[in-house]
Amino acid sequence: MMSSPHKKINSLEELLLEKHLLKERCTYQEKLISYKFDELKNNFPEIVSQAVLPFAPDKNREVTSLLDLVNDFILRLLPLRFRNNPLARFLLKTVQALVIR
C-alpha cells in the first residue's frame, strides 16, 4: 500500500495508479490518526495516571482500578456539581497518582 519514494513515472496510467495508492495511504493514515485521537480523548485520565504511576503496566492497571473505586466514594462526598464532572475525576486521579509516585 506504500508508494516508493522517487519512483519514476513513465505514463499516465502509472501516474493514476500512483495517485490512487497515495489516496489509499492517506485514507488509511487519516483513519489511524482518528482512531488514536479518539482513544486518547476517551482514555486521557487513565493514560496520564498510568504514565505517572511508577509500577509495571499490569500493576498500574490494578492501582488505577483501585483508585477508580476510591474516587467513586470520594466523589459521592463532594457537592453535586463535582460528581459528574470529568475534569474533577481527572484531577483527583492525577493528584493521587502523583502522591503515590
Is 33 contained in some domain? yes
The span from the CA of 86 to the CA of 91, in Å, is 9
Residue 75 pLDDT = 81
Is 5 contained in some domain? no
Write the burial class of residue 53 (CB in 10 Å: 0-12 exposed, 13-18 middle, 19+ buried).
Answer: buried
Query: CA 82, 84, 88, 89 torsion: positive or negative?
Result: positive
Is 96 contained in some domain? yes
Q: What DSSP string describes 65-93?
A: HHHHHHHHHHHHHS-HHHHT-HHHHHHHH
Residue 61 pLDDT = 76
Q: Which domain holds residue 79?
A: 12-100
Q: Distance from first CA to last CA of the chain, Å, rounded?
A: 44
Is 6 contained in some domain? no
Walking along the chain (101 residues) 10 residues at a time, the average pLDDT comes out as 68 92 96 93 76 74 80 81 77 76 70
C-alpha cell at 76: 459521592
Is 83 contained in some domain? yes
Number of domains in the chain: 1
Is 3 contained in some domain? no
Residue 2 pLDDT = 55
Is 68 contained in some domain? yes
